[in-house]
Chains A and B, each alone.
Chain A
Amino acid sequence: MQILISNSSKEPIYGQIYVQIKKLILTGELQEGQLLPSMRQLAKDLEISVITTKRAYEELEKNGFIYSIVGKGSFVSEQNMEMMKERKMKVIEEKLFVAIQNGKEMGLSLAELKEMLTLLYTEDE
């Protein structure tokens, strides 16, 4: 399980761990039922405090990505991929809608917006 922590990032460390494990689960790199390293082991490996990994695991558990069994550890939950994808699509739609509204306010055409989107999309790659 690869996790990279940036100490200079504005994102808190537990947030970085949360995002990266979530991504590993959503891309299927971590499979349903798979055992995650213990909080204490992960803290040692990443050279960070236990409370930080604990917070990340708690957030992952709260949002249904993992579950814990006392004395056994934390495991990847069964993910309903279709539903998750739908939910994500909805968020993207909403954000795009806001961008379109903003664009319309200042009279941007669809072509101009598309151009902007293409530019931003390729820049991020």
Chain B
Amino acid sequence: MENVIELQHVQKSFDGFQLKDFSVTVKKGFVTGFIGGNGVGKSTTIKLIMNLLQPDSGTISIFGLNYKEHEKEIKQRIGFVFDENIFYENVTLAEMKGIIKPAYLNWDDNLFNHYVQTFELPLNKKIKAFSKGMMMKASLTIALSHHAELIIMDEPTSGLDPIFRRELLDILHDLMQDGDKTIFFSTHITTDLDRIADYITFIHNGEHIFTKEFYKVEEEYAIVKGGMELLDGDTEQEFIAIRKSVHGFVALTDNKTRIENIFGETVLIEKPTLEDIMFYTKKGSEKHV
């Protein structure tokens, strides 16, 4: 399968934060959910992908092209979607279109009108009067109107009400129908991903933990519950992190089959949520520091 985004051994350091030997690929025609807590490097990664930041070392290629020689071409093919207002506030959507349109070779007025109608966006209302949901739709409309092949969204669902979040996921499903578009979006509302994400990329403390098919995450990881008597120096090593209490322990493993072989029927094994995986991975990495 073709990779739309490829980061190879990317390093980027700031005061007190570092993206370490970060390699990740995003597959064409699929939705990749980018998860991780606050301040672990999600926005930095997105900025690197958008060329708003440059890596200290390592390579970044988008559509198989590098920014040094092909910046213009790459940017024509990317649509960036956000719910913050980066438009001029005192103009209408119709005026905004006039400003943005000349920047794109593939601008399509018919498509623009189509989405304005579908999303029921007001063309002649000042953008500062838009709600977050409308802003998101306007931003998506702009991205789609220049035939963006790669749509990048930074926390698109935070700040949206549950009904609009469902609507947005429906819109994204529609976009994925032809198989030519690729969506990469960061989020910490992990339940939204159940419905749409094909791949999950998990980042923690500037490190790439995994990129996997969603169903594989559920096949490999498991929440394990059992009595404290089962834990000793050896068995504790089998887990990423363990939460102990007087009533027993709850732990996360990334090797479900192995745990089943070791503990058999003595423990309860459950399907983890992405939140479980994020929580225990953070807990596990604190332990090792």
Contacts and interface: CB of A to CB of B under 8 A. Distances in A.
Interface stretch (A10-18, A100-108, A114-122): A10-18
B271 A51 contact: no
Interface residues of A, number: 16
Contacts of A13: 215
B196 interface: yes
B131 to A, nearest CB: 24
A82 B215 CA distance: 34
A14 B215 contact: yes
A12 B177 contact: no
A52 B198 CA distance: 7
A7 B271 CA distance: 11
A40 B177 contact: yes
B2 to A, nearest CB: 15
Contacts of A12: 215, 218-219
Interface string B164-195: 00000110011011110000000000000011
A10 to B, nearest CB: 7
A34 interface: no
A83 to B, nearest CB: 30
Given A40-B176, A40-B177, A49 B218 contact: no
Nearest to A55: B215
Interface centre among B29, B194, B198, B271 (most CB of A within 10 A): B198
B172 to A, nearest CB: 9
Interface in B129-161: none
A48 B214 CA distance: 11
Contacts of B173: 43-44, 47
Interface string B205-216: 000000001110
Nearest to B174: A44
B195 A48 contact: yes
Contacts of B271: 10
Interface string B17-33: 00000000000011100
Nearest to A51: B198
Contacts of A41: 177
Nearest to B178: A40
Interface in B246-281: 271
B176 A51 contact: no
Interface in A23-78: 40-41, 43-44, 47-52, 55
Contact of A49 (B170, B179, B214): B214
A44 B198 CA distance: 13
Contacts of A47: 169-170, 173, 195
Contacts of B176: 40, 43-44, 50
Contacts of A40: 176-179
B78 interface: no
Interface of A: 7, 10, 12-14, 40-41, 43-44, 47-52, 55
Q: Which 6 A-B pairs have the closest CB atoms?
A: A51-B198, A44-B173, A49-B198, A40-B177, A47-B195, A51-B213
Given A50-B29, A52-B198, 4 more contacts: A40-B176, A49-B196, A50-B31, A51-B214
30 contacts: A7-B194, A10-B271, A12-B215, A12-B218, A12-B219, A13-B215, A14-B215, A40-B176, A40-B177, A43-B173, A44-B173, A44-B174, A44-B177, A47-B169, A47-B195, A48-B195, A49-B31, A49-B195, A49-B196, A49-B197, A49-B198, A50-B30, A50-B31, A50-B176, A50-B198, A51-B199, A51-B214, A51-B215, A52-B215, A55-B213
